[in-house]
Amino acid sequence: NAGVTQTPKFRILKIGQSMTLQCAQDMNHNYMYWYRQDPGMGLKLIYYSVGAGITDKGEVPNGYNVSRSTTEDFPLRLELAAPSQTSVYFCASSLGQASGNEQFFGPGTRLTVL
Amino acid sequence: GQQVMQIPQYQHVQEGEDFTTYCNSSTTLSNIQWYKQRPGGHPVFLIQLVKSGEVKKQKRLTFQFGEAKKNSSLHITATQTTDVGTYFCAGSSNSGYALNFGKGTSLLVTP
């Protein structure tokens, strides 16, 4: 099993550009999450999904969108990138809801917006 | 909303010294999880605590969950250079689909 994979690993965007961060898992997990990590600030939840076709906002959803058309994939869309979105983005998945289940993290995408 | 506070933010120890990081929640938690993130890496699950007063050990690591289920600690005995990284606690309430992560404690171990 590859676990949780993310692409790309690194990306530099110009202000106002858009991009999609890809996330896939091959563990047949229902729950998937997107976090951003800023230096010294821990992990903040952007969006999460409890199954295909179901998504919900986390703590910091503004400027992002997600979709979950399949169990495996959970892409994160950035529209009109801003410097405040410079961060490391982690995708994670779990078998059941986070309360009570280990989260498996992908390797992350390091995004810089200039 | 629920907040998870973690102290200290940084800790620098000599190899062989002990290390402890503390996690406190503003609300009662249904469980707490601990993760380790190596520099440049991604968080990796260490353990989950569920019961009030629970203590679990993994080799040199000891995890505790407070009686009131509002605080937790991770203690490392005789640190090694391989312990370097950031340790995060993450908690959730009974109604939580997601975890609230603390800001983490970054541990540096010098030989």
Domain ranges of chain A: 4-102
Q: Do A103 and B102 touch (CB under 8 A)?
A: no
Position A11 scores a pLDDT of 97
Q: Whole-angstrom Cα distance, residue B70 to residue B74?
A: 14
pLDDT tens digits along A81-106: 999 999 999 999 998 877 778 999 99
Structural domain A4-102, CATH architecture: Sandwich (2.60)
CATH number of the domain bearing residue B36: 2.60.40.10
Residue B74's domain comprises 4-110
Position B2 scores a pLDDT of 62
pLDDT tens digits along B88-101: 999 987 656 778 89
Q: Whole-angstrom Cα distance, residue B94 to residue B50?
A: 11
Position B98 scores a pLDDT of 77
Q: What is the mean pLDDT of chain B?
A: 93
* pLDDT-above-70 percentage for chain A: 100
- Mutate one of A48, A90, A99, A105 to test the B interface: name it (highest B CB count within 10 A): A99
Q: How many domains does chain B have?
A: 1
Q: Which residue did the predictor score with more confidence, A91 or B30?
A: A91
pLDDT tens digits along A12-21: 999 999 999 9
Residue A49 corresponds to which tokens in the numbers above? 């999904």
What one-character-per-residue DSSP string does chain A give? ---EEEE-SEEEE-TT--EEEEEEESS--SEEEEEEE-TTS-EEEEEEEEETTEEEE-S--TTEEE--SSSSB--EEE-S--GGG-EEEEEEEESS-STTS--EE---EEEEE-
Return the residue of B nearest to A93 by Cα: B98
Shortest Cα–Cα distance, B78 to chain A (Å): 25
Q: Do A43 and B92 touch (CB under 8 A)?
A: no
Q: Whole-angstrom Cα distance, residue A86 to residue A63?
A: 12
